[in-house]
Chain A
Amino acid sequence: MGERVLMKGNEAIAEAAIRAGVQAYFGYPITPQNELITYMSRHMPEKGRTFIQAESEVAAINMVYGSASAGARAMTSSSSPGMSLKQEGISYLVGAQLPAVIVNIMRGGPGLGNIAPSQADYFQACKGGCHGDTHMVVYAPATVQEAADLTAKSFDVADRYRNPVIILGDAILGQMMEPLVLSEVSPNPPPKPWALGGKRHGRAPNLINSLSLEEGVVEDWNWIFKAKYEEMKANELMVETLHCEDADLILVAYGTTSRICKEVMHQARAKGLKIGLIRPITVWPFPYKVISQAARKTREFLVIEMSLGQMIEDVKLAGLGDASLHFHGRPGGGVPQEKDIMEIIDFVLVNKRVGRITTRGTVIDWEIS
């Protein structure tokens, strides 16, 4: 049995990574994930592992690229503007088939924004914020425990597919303290015969590279990536569903927002309203089938996000049949309020769309435009 501790999300992610055998961490200070780099600066050198506060987020992701190409478990973390800086490096990781773990503790944007929580980097993480046909498993933890567990898992997943993995958190998750159990793990990274450096003992030279000027080569590589993405979709999907079997309205939310929705769901159930929740734990791969299946019985879906609406496009894509789709979101650091979500539930389920919605950020019968 592991150790039960009280930790901030940022620190829990760092500690979980250390226990998972991360050998190199490179980061740059940016609120609201500074506790992560600070924790690493203290504990990585203690364990004889590599820590560098790099000159920029760009340098940090490229240091990760280097360590990953040398076969080491490598990680970086940042927040939204810094994540934008990393996109080139992430594309190179995908193109060169390198494992790495990248943590984004999202904050309000666009631009410099603020240091409040946000989920507006969903498109960036899931639709390939970097150039090329890139995809990677994206975990969206909702509790500090889950953040630790998924961080530990992400190193195995990255190594399994030779592909980067993103942990998508937000300022609330990063900053809040919750109890969690940290398990004793024996990290078991697979052998990496493709890695550079170390004594070759006669092995042929290896190449870590994402360029080829020869005709057809990069296309062939992309078909290899496609096969990997299909495997990830088949094996790595994680989703939680609560009370959907008899639901008249299903809330769809991930991360911190899902906690707010859970609370709303409990309150609504207490009032006799049949509310369910679908919580993607991986936002890539996305639980399209779970949603379209639920839409066979449930007529109303309400997506809640800390953004102007990004995941909702994937909910729509899932295919809801005749079911209605509604949205409530708060961008730029705003956090959805229980009372506002309840107001929409009342409007749709109780008042049968008679009356008016008083909050901004709500769209009834959302359509893509």
Chain B
Amino acid sequence: MDMKKVAGRSPLWLDKPSPYCPGCGHGVVHRLICELIEEYKLADNCVFMAPVGCSILAYTFLGLDICQSAHGRTPAAATGIKRVLPDTFVLSYQGDGDLASIGTAEIIHAANRGENITTIFVNNAIYGMTGGQMAPTTLSGQKATTCLDGRDPSTGMGYPIRVCELLQSLGGVTYLARTAVHTAAHVAKAKQAIKKAFEVQLGKKGFSLVEVLSACPVNWGMQPLEAVDFIEKNMIPQYPLGEFKDEGMCVSPKAREGGA
């Protein structure tokens, strides 16, 4: 009887273990990106932007042209590449420090200009690489090394930033969605959203961004399976899942999962 392979490691993922922690969401997101690059046959003319943050290490094991750029400046560097190589697929990959802290100007303006790049924004509500400091996306009450008693907006620590809600108003944004990768069902939906984002770039239709809620078990101080619960019970109510913009039009909040 014939056995058909239905899942496995992408050839773009070189034969090296990923440097990420056990249960880290980055590996899932990288895999989805690799699968889509293969499906759309983009590997031969593609640049992966590796930001500062844990995912800087993607360059050690992904078999693609990779540009490592300064912290937060990924959208600017991606713009520089895409403008001179409009037929090259540019995948900009950023974490919450890179995108929502130091790089807020760059992402807003790249989105606003409608740069024809695809951004994958991995939101794990903490700074991983540097050992667990508060991120702009850290939840109220969530503990981190720079808010040891938990983030308290009433004492000037700021509120968790909802990037999709922030970017929704910008004219240049064609596709905007928030997804998660903590369960198999969510991973499948995340892949659909990233696929739509790829199609926006391939159709030269403007700027696309998919936010992905992802686990950081080590810095959350949890086991991987507890981290899955944290995303489900704590992150999703703060960061509702679903599409925010499709084909350049805002999508109604009623269409989104979760609360607030």
Direct interface between A and B, CB < 8 A: yes
User: Contact residues of A with B, CB < 8 Å?
Assistant: 23-24, 26, 50, 52, 54-56, 58-60, 62-72, 74, 88-89, 92, 96, 196-201, 205-211
User: Contact residues of B with A, CB < 8 Å?
Assistant: 44-47, 50, 56, 59, 63-70, 73, 76-85, 88, 90, 105-106, 108-109, 113
Centre residue among B63, B64, B76, B106 by max chain A CB count within 10 A? B76
- Contact at A205–B66, with CB atoms within 8 Å? yes
State which of A50, A55, A65 has its C-beta within 8 Å of the C-beta of B84: A50
Residues of B within 8 A of A63 (CB): 76-77, 79-80, 83
Give Cα A88–Cα B65 distance, bound, in whole angstroms.
23
Report the tally of A-B residue pairs with Cβ distances under 8 A.
123
Residues of B within 8 A of A208 (CB): 66-68
Whether A92 touches B69, Cβ cut-off 8 Å, given contacts A55-B109, A59-B109, A199-B45, is yes
- Contact at B76–A205, with CB atoms within 8 Å? no
Residues of A within 8 A of B79 (CB): 52, 63, 66
Give Cα A64–Cα B73 distance, bound, in whole angstroms.
11
A-B contact list, 20 entries, CB within 8 Å: A23-B84, A52-B79, A54-B76, A54-B109, A59-B106, A62-B70, A62-B77, A63-B77, A66-B67, A67-B81, A69-B67, A69-B80, A70-B81, A70-B84, A74-B84, A197-B65, A201-B44, A209-B68, A210-B68, A211-B68
Q: How far is the CB of B243 from chain A (nearest CB, A)?
A: 26
- Contact at B45–A62, with CB atoms within 8 Å? no
- Contact at B76–A62, with CB atoms within 8 Å? yes
Residues of A within 8 A of B81 (CB): 66-67, 69-70, 196-197
Give Cα A66–Cα B77 distance, bound, in whole angstroms.
4
Q: How far is the CB of B213 from chain A (nearest CB, A)?
A: 27
Whether A66 touches B109, Cβ cut-off 8 Å, given contacts A24-B84, A59-B76, A199-B45, is no
- Contact at B68–A96, with CB atoms within 8 Å? yes
- Contact at B65–A196, with CB atoms within 8 Å? yes
- Contact at B44–A200, with CB atoms within 8 Å? yes
Residues of A within 8 A of B113 (CB): 52
Give Cα A64–Cα B65 distance, bound, in whole angstroms.
18
Residues of B within 8 A of A64 (CB): 80
Give Cα A64–Cα B77 distance, bound, in whole angstroms.
7
Q: How far is the CB of A211 from chain B (nearest CB, A)?
A: 6
